[in-house]
């Protein structure tokens, strides 16, 4: 039973990592004050639902790429502490963004994640 809990926990961490990809992609400069906590929560959930197949090795769907293009990084970056950032492969995240038609700015920092 403990192995199942660990596996579910790891999957959730990967889904949260996927949300980083969703959040970084658009890099809208709307201030955090423009988004309520409930709007951010909804945006994160929409991203997880649209892109969860990516966590399991599937390519990003058109719906996932669309979600990546419209999401706000202000909603996801605060969730990426050092522990979660250690689970994210920045190269894979960058590739996903590129595959969806977005660029990651050089030296971008999102929570504890750093994109060189």
* Cα 41 to Cα 5: distance, rounded to the nearest angstrom: 24
pTM over 0.75: no
First CA to last CA across the chain, in angstroms? 39
Contacts of residue 16, Cβ cutoff 8 Å, sequence gap at least 6: 48, 79, 80, 84
Tens of pLDDT, residue by residue over 20-40, are 555 554 444 444 458 899 999
Contacts of residue 46, Cβ cutoff 8 Å, sequence gap at least 6: 67, 71
Q: What DSSP designation does 100 have?
A: T
Tens of pLDDT, residue by residue over 44-81, are 899 889 999 998 889 999 999 999 988 888 887 888 89
């Amino acid at each position: 039973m403990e192995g199942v809990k660990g596996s579910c926990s790891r999957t959730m961490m990967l889904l949260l990592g996927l949300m980083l990809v969703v959040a970084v992609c658009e890099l809208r400069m709307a201030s955090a004050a423009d988004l309520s906590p409930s709007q951010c929560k909804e945006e994160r959930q929409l991203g997880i639902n649209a892109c969860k197949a990516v966590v399991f090795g599937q390519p990003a769907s058109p719906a996932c790429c669309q979600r990546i293009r419209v999401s706000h990084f202000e909603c996801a970056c605060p969730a990426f502490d050092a522990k979660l950032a250690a689970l994210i492969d920045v190269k894979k995240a960058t590739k996903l963004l590129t595959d969806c038609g977005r660029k990651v700015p050089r030296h971008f920092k999102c929570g504890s994640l750093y994109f060189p």
